[in-house]
Amino acid sequence: MAAQLYRTHTGKLFHAGSIVIINVGLPARGKTHGSRSLIRYMNWLGVKSRSFHMGQYRRRLYGTDISADYFDLGNADTAAACTRAEDSCIQDIIEYLTTGGGQLAIFDASNLGAARRRHIRDTFEAHQIRPLFIEYICENEQIVDENIRKVKITSPDYITMDPDTAVSDFKTRIARMAPYYETIDDGDLSYIKLFNVGEHLVVNNIRGYLQSRVVFYMMNLHIAERTIYLARSGESSNEGSYKSDAPLSAAGHMYAQRLRDAVIRRIEERNRHVLEKTGVDISDRTLKVWTSTRVKSYQTAEYFASSGSVSVRKRMLLRGLNPGMCENLTLSDVKARFPDEYRSYLRDPYHHRYSLAESYHDVSVRLEPVILELERERDDILIIAPESALRCIYAYFAPQGLPDSLIPTLAFPRSIFVELTPTAYGCKERRIGVSPNGR
């Protein structure tokens, strides 16, 4: 798991036992997006977590060529088919949490009926798994329509269907399900009700630290489309020294200008593409720049501030890793001068801390407030920081399964900047050249 902040011998944290989050709500209300985002955060904390998406089980049993009538829960045959798929998913969750080493799972399904939810709760509790319900309620039809067009019609169910037909079919599915939707009103349940994907929420009967962390994260959740850019600080006049905090060199100033031009050029290109593809004008989206308080970082960012339409914010938490006694030393130098330290580093490069230094784990812990604010932000964000800080931020958005031992080796050369676009089904990544032609 990438950038795991905390670790125990049992693999379970906060004395919380096993928890299953049971999603509730009609389709296109943000359930899958919220689930994927929460799983990313929990795995980053070190809580071994996984989302189980009901659609995958349905397609596995019945394929993708399914009529909207399948979602009519008033039909006994289709209701029984849905239950078979759900039960298969529930058994996999139980196995994951009881024998598979997992601590938190999300049952990402609609779960519309109160009686069915009580049965699911009792099934999990019989295996000492604590249920927490999250109900996604969306009263804004514009949000629902945008979610259908941006996310749902790209699912495997509609891969061969033209967009307008796919939208119509998906709305028919929702109409079939809506009459059987019963909102949560059982005060004995532990639940979160999330309105309009983050506009406000209601919590009830939350128990324990881990469930509280889930609530805290959900308070920061939204599905607004935005882009995160990661760029390395320009070269300083004393590049190898952490203590000197030197200003940009002449090459550093040239890089800063090219970075500003490349990022602005990329944003304009993206805006044109979105307008041509969807007819939506996003040119009014704001770009904010977050940068370290180190001189070379904020001097790099100042080139964006000079454009007049970009705000620049200095953040002390974005400073790079303090190398301690290994300042100005390469790994070869460390191996020659401190062989014991070098061997310790090779055993665990992510957690190893040289004398008077920070480890990459320390940097990740320090950056947790930045990560949460990134999740809360609805504007485009460019982070200009030293390479060590970028590595830890990137690791948060990286696919699950990136070993933390690889984080210190991630490369962010000044020839490129990284574009990250969080989506309901993961995070899209693109590396863009800083050269004048953008290659």
Contacts of residue 339, defined as CB under 8 A and 6 or more positions apart, other chains included, come to none
The C-alpha atoms of residue 338 and residue 218 are separated, in whole angstroms, by 46
Residue among 261, 227, 263 at smallest CA distance from 379: 227
326 and 240 in contact (C-beta within 8 Å)? no
**Which residue type occupies 319?**
R
Beta strand spans in 140-245 (E): 191-195, 200-204, 228-232
Residue among 224, 196, 200 at smallest CA distance from 376: 224
The C-alpha atoms of residue 408 and residue 68 are separated, in whole angstroms, by 49
Residue the block writes with tokens 């939204």: 222
Query: Which are the catalytic amino acids?
Result: 108
The C-alpha atoms of residue 82 and residue 86 are separated, in whole angstroms, by 6
Contacts of residue 15, defined as CB under 8 A and 6 or more positions apart, other chains included, come to 209
The DSSP string of 164-228 is HHHHHHHHHHHHHHGGG------TTS-EEEEETTTTEEEEES--HHHHHHHHHHHTT-------E
